[in-house]
Amino acid sequence: MRVLVTGASGFLGHCIARQLLARGDQVVGLQRSDAPALRALGGECVRGDIADAQVVEHAAKGCDAIIHTAAKAGHWGSEAEYQAINVRGTQHVLAACLRLGIAKLVHTSTPSVVHQGHDLEGVDESIPYATRFLAAYPRTKAQAERLVLAANQRSLSTVALRPHLIWGPGDQHLLPRMEARARAGRLRFVGASKLIDTVYVENAADAHLLALDRLAPGASCAGKAYFIAQGEPIKLDEMVNALLDCVGLPPVNRRIAFPVAYGVGAVLEWVYRAFALSGEPIMTRFLAEHLATAHWYDLSAARRDLGYDPKISLAQGLRLLKASMA
């Protein structure tokens, strides 16, 4: 197939593109920055903004499918920017599919679309969307996921995947931020340590290829969303300290109570908005809730409908990550 990967210079997008190219597919990458690593692998690059409909349609011409990973992530930022990238960008991808007759769309979503501030322990995809959002990221990703699933039809098969806390070699977001806070002595755990699940980047990418290959009109996965993770729940502090060990840092044990973290987050949000401060608060209400609650998922549907089975275990992934840091 000839596949457009939006966000192909990103952590997950690049891994997906690499896996597609390795099996013989053609890849067109759409991203705002240059992608020399993708070109070196034999992929084509289109530079442009996902919020520009003409750019998206230009990149999608001649493609058989789209894997849409481009998004603005994080727990802080401009609502307008989140809307432009996560919602309007997704609308442009859908419009390009319909105008150009592209039959398959795999959309990268997030489990945050169902998180309402309480523990999620072994839940499956029957859990409803959250009705309250403390940040623009989950709110706009929920909007985008709904659009993608509602667009499933005879001429366009769609599926949404919800990978959780992606990590591994080449991580540009989760591990670098964690490492920076740990080195600055500013990393704290919130409340009691709860179970979470994560996903190694190669497994997350593999899930996207599995979904791509199974998508077809009337397929069991068409029009549905799926949680994607390791299937190996682990306490948050154990996972964080395992990742810190990979970069040669000692374990962190400092902890603050959830009400304190939530209150600090609320105050910092107000201060940053009131004084239009640059950067982001070290704590927000959204971040406090995610650090203090359990979030792990029943992967039965992904195993059944996609054939998803994590090829790289948690222990193997940590060894690979540590080796990449040497």
Of 130, 111, 131, residue with least CA distance to 121: 111
Helix axes 236-246, 174-183, angle to 10 degrees: 90
Q: Which two tokens stand for residue 94?
A: 């859908």
Catalytic residue among 137, 200, 262, 297: 137
Q: Which two tokens stand for residue 195?
A: 């179970």
Q: Are 109 and 138 in contact (CB under 8 A)?
A: no
137 is catalytic: yes
In SS3 terms, the chain reads as CEEEEECCCCHHHHHHHHHHHHCCCEEEEEECCCCHHHHHCCCEEEECCCCCHHHHHHHHCCCCEEEECCCCCCCCCCHHHHHHHHHHHHHHHHHHHHHHCCCEEEEECCHHHHCCCCCEEEECCCCCCCCCCCCHHHHHHHHHHHHHHHCCCCCCEEEEEEECCEECCCCCCHHHHHHHHHHCCCCCEECCCCEECCEEHHHHHHHHHHHHHHCCCCCCCCCEEEEECCCCCEEHHHHHHHHHHHCCCCCCCCEECHHHHHHHHHHHHHHHHHCCCCCCCCCCHHHHHHHHCCEEECCHHHHHHHCCCCCCCHHHHHHHHHHHCC
User: What are the residue numbers of the active site?
Assistant: 137
